[in-house]
Chain A
């Protein structure tokens, strides 16, 4: 007998309201339908009514977690259309902020994944050590989030040389703590049992659905804009792309945890090699034409397309966030797994999805599961495994 488990659509915790309709047979998920559009804000339309200098502030507010990625991709699209060369110092500053943001976003995901499976210690730890990163942002830009560092032609704010030492100190702390909980997470047999061989996305499906970022790299699909189409300082620093073949949630978690080290490496090299000089190029006007900007956000490639008609506002501005490509892949990733795993599988692509609240299962017209029940089911499974491993 088939039943429907709706997850969503609204919750204050959930940044991007989505509605997942799980179709289950007993405990097993047999199909999934996804509905989005509950919070469509019409950014593309609004952007066509704003000037080139105002849009970074608009697109920054698309997502609170990757609030650097959208303006980053947008300014690169305009720079591509108008053929603007960014001075080296501006390039390095933008790279540093992009990488720091990656670490804090991956931390968020690790914390939430821990919360989902009932490891609230992981959640508290990780979010505790996300604070130093936010302190760095505050030091450089005055804001803990929504940094407004990107500007057409360069960076809006300089990183002062007297701050280098302090940033380095923060980075040492972040690296030490990353090592601490990477070891804790990767060595725990319960987490292994809980995340391994769950929610497998094969490489073929990854390519067909066009998934991006850690979701793709966890499935052995080695794409990373920073390597494939290097921009700003990414081809001047030494770092590795993290790829795992398994395609399960554990592989995605490993990609995210190990990427934090690469990001720390990049930031350190950028600080060491930071060139002197101006941070922005003078931009007079944007000629008619079209441009594409792509930035590797924490969740994958952010894509912005800007068409200019020679006026001070874009004629068309297309925005594609990585979750737009990643979420549809849940349809294949969640099939065949138990309902206790579903919440985690749906969260594995890191869709800013942090809620299983308002979940209702109807059986003969009566409620069966609520969102909290789903979270409880997920934790019970962990608890069971924990007892089996005697921990």
Chain B
């Protein structure tokens, strides 16, 4: 017997956060688009009132900014509520969730170093995966870093020939 997503949570989100737009991809996979200054309140609402668990956060470098996707899992119904927000590349800032949610601590550090997003209010925003000697302004998951890497490779093979 498969459980379905709970429509009440989506209704409550719609009433509380008028800027949110909901997309239901599959019965238990929902995506909620929201401006970045409301992410903190929505995440707190999902965690504290709806017993959702922060599964992980995904950061993606897109053409129009960096997309942050918070995957919240509502285990009683088996539904994923994914909060999606876009931060502009010239001002990559979003409020940290780590003050009420320890589960966000590591992944925010990871996104900070790999994509260069500043999580304001994070207690310890130091690099998690990269070495201590890694330059702070070099973000390996950014598209422009990948392009530089590609050029470097082409140049090297050219020299080898």
Contacts and interface: CB of A to CB of B under 8 A. Distances in A.
Interface of A: 36-37, 40, 42, 44-45, 80, 83, 207-210, 223, 225, 228-230, 235, 289-292, 294, 301, 303, 305, 307, 315-316, 318, 320, 324-325, 328
B140 A45 contact: yes
Interface in B101-124: 101-103, 105-107
Contacts of A320: 55-56
Nearest to A229: B78
Interface in B22-63: 25-26, 28-29, 31, 51, 53-56, 58, 60
B102 A42 contact: no
A207 B53 CA distance: 7
Given A42-B140, A45-B140, A320-B55, 6 more contacts: A45-B146, A80-B29, A208-B101, A229-B3, A316-B58, A328-B103
B144 to A, nearest CB: 14
Nearest to A331: B102
Given A36-B129, A37-B129, A292-B71, A301 B55 contact: yes
Interface residues of B, number: 39
A229 B28 contact: yes
A210 B76 contact: no
A235 B51 CA distance: 24
B79 to A, nearest CB: 8
A228 B75 contact: yes
Contact of A325 (B69, B77, B103): B103
14 contacts: A36-B129, A40-B129, A45-B140, A210-B53, A210-B55, A210-B103, A223-B75, A235-B1, A289-B25, A292-B71, A292-B80, A301-B55, A305-B56, A328-B103
Given A292-B29, A325-B103, A223 B58 contact: no
B129 A80 contact: no
Interface of B: 1-3, 25-26, 28-29, 31, 51, 53-56, 58, 60, 69, 71, 73, 75-80, 82, 101-103, 105-107, 127-131, 140-141, 146
Contact of A40 (B58, B106, B130): B130
| Interface residues of chain A: helix, strand, loop or mixed (majority) | mixed
Contacts of A290: 25, 31
B6 to A, nearest CB: 13
Given A40-B129, A307-B60, A328 B25 contact: no
Contacts of A83: 26
Nearest to B104: A210
Contacts of A44: 141
Given A80-B29, A223-B53, A307-B60, A45 B141 contact: yes
Nearest to A208: B102
A292 B78 CA distance: 12
Given A36-B129, A37-B128, A210-B53, A305 B69 contact: yes
A318 B75 CA distance: 20
A80 B82 CA distance: 14
Contacts of A210: 53-55, 101-103
Contacts of B80: 292, 294
Most B CB contacts (10 A, CB to CB) among A40, A44, A225 go to A40
Contacts of A325: 56, 103
A126 to B, nearest CB: 31
Most A CB contacts (10 A, CB to CB) among B1, B51, B141 go to B141
B136 to A, nearest CB: 15
B24 to A, nearest CB: 13
A251 B94 CA distance: 39
Nearest to A48: B146
Given A45-B141, A325-B103, A228 B76 contact: yes
A278 to B, nearest CB: 23
B75 A209 contact: no
A284 B9 CA distance: 36
Contacts of B2: 230, 235
A218 B103 CA distance: 18
Contacts of B58: 305, 316, 318
Contacts of B105: 328
Contacts of B77: 228
Contacts of B128: 36-37
Contacts of A207: 51, 53
A368 B106 CA distance: 31
A229 B25 CA distance: 15
A291 B53 CA distance: 19
A45 B60 CA distance: 11
A289 B129 CA distance: 29
